[in-house]
A and B are shown apart, each in its own frame.
Chain A
Amino acid sequence: MHISEGILTGPSFWATTVAGVAVMIWGVSDMKRFIKEQPERKPLLGMAGAFIFLVSLIPIPAYMGTCSHPCGTPLAGILLGPGIGAALAGLSLVLQALLFAHGGFATLGANILSLGLGGAAGGWLFFKLGRKLGLPLLAAAGLSGLLGDILTYLISGSILGGHLAFFAPQPQYGFGRYLAVIMAAYVPVQLPIALGEMAVTGIAVRSIGRQRPEVLEGLRVVSKATLAMVLGLGMVVSLLSLPSETQASSTVPVTERGNSKAGEPAAYTGMDEKVNEAMAEAAGAKPHDPYINLEAKGDVWNAILLAGGGLAGFIIGRRWHLLFGRANEAPSGPTPPTMKP
Chain B
Amino acid sequence: MSSRLQTSSLPACSPLPGIAACKPAPVSVPAGQAVLEAEKLHFRYAEESDAVAGVSFKIMPGEAVALCGHNGSGKTTLMKLLAGLLKPVKGRVRVAGTELDTRSAREVFRTVGLLFQDPQDQLFCNSVGEDVAYGPRNLVLSEAEVNERVALALDITEVRHLEKRPIHHLSGGEMKRVALAGIVAMQTSVLILDEPFDGLDPAATARLVTLIRHLANDHGYTVVMATHQMSLVPEVADRMLVMQGGLLIADGPVRELLTNIPLLEQARLEPPSITRFFYKKALLENRKPERLPLTLDEALQWYRGKTE
Contact = CB atoms under 8 A, between A and B. Distances in A.
Q: Do chains A and B touch in the complex (CB under 8 A)?
A: yes
Interface of A: 43, 335, 337-338, 340-341
Contacts of B45: 338, 340
A340 B72 contact: yes
A43 B72 CA distance: 25
A76 to B, nearest CB: 21
Contacts of B76: 340-341
A287 B45 CA distance: 67
Given A338-B45, A340-B45, A340-B51, 11 more contacts: A43-B124, A335-B47, A337-B48, A338-B46, A338-B48, A340-B72, A340-B76, A340-B77, A341-B76, A341-B77, A341-B80
B55 to A, nearest CB: 16
A92 B76 CA distance: 34
5 contacts: A43-B124, A335-B47, A338-B45, A338-B48, A340-B72
Interface string B120-160: 00001000000000000000000000000000000000000
A43 B124 CA distance: 9
A88 to B, nearest CB: 17
Contacts of B48: 337-338
Residue among A43, A337, A340 with most chain B CB within 10 A: A340
A335 B124 CA distance: 31
Interface in B19-77: 45-48, 51, 72, 76-77
Contacts of A341: 76-77, 80
Of A43, A337, A340, A341, most buried by chain B (CB within 10 Å of CB) is A341
Nearest to A339: B45
Contacts of B77: 340-341
B282 to A, nearest CB: 39
A114 B80 CA distance: 44
Nearest to A340: B45
Contacts of A340: 45, 51, 72, 76-77
A41 to B, nearest CB: 14
Contacts of B80: 341
A338 B72 CA distance: 13
Nearest to B124: A43
A111 B98 CA distance: 54
A340 B51 CA distance: 9
Interface in B218-241: none
A246 to B, nearest CB: 62
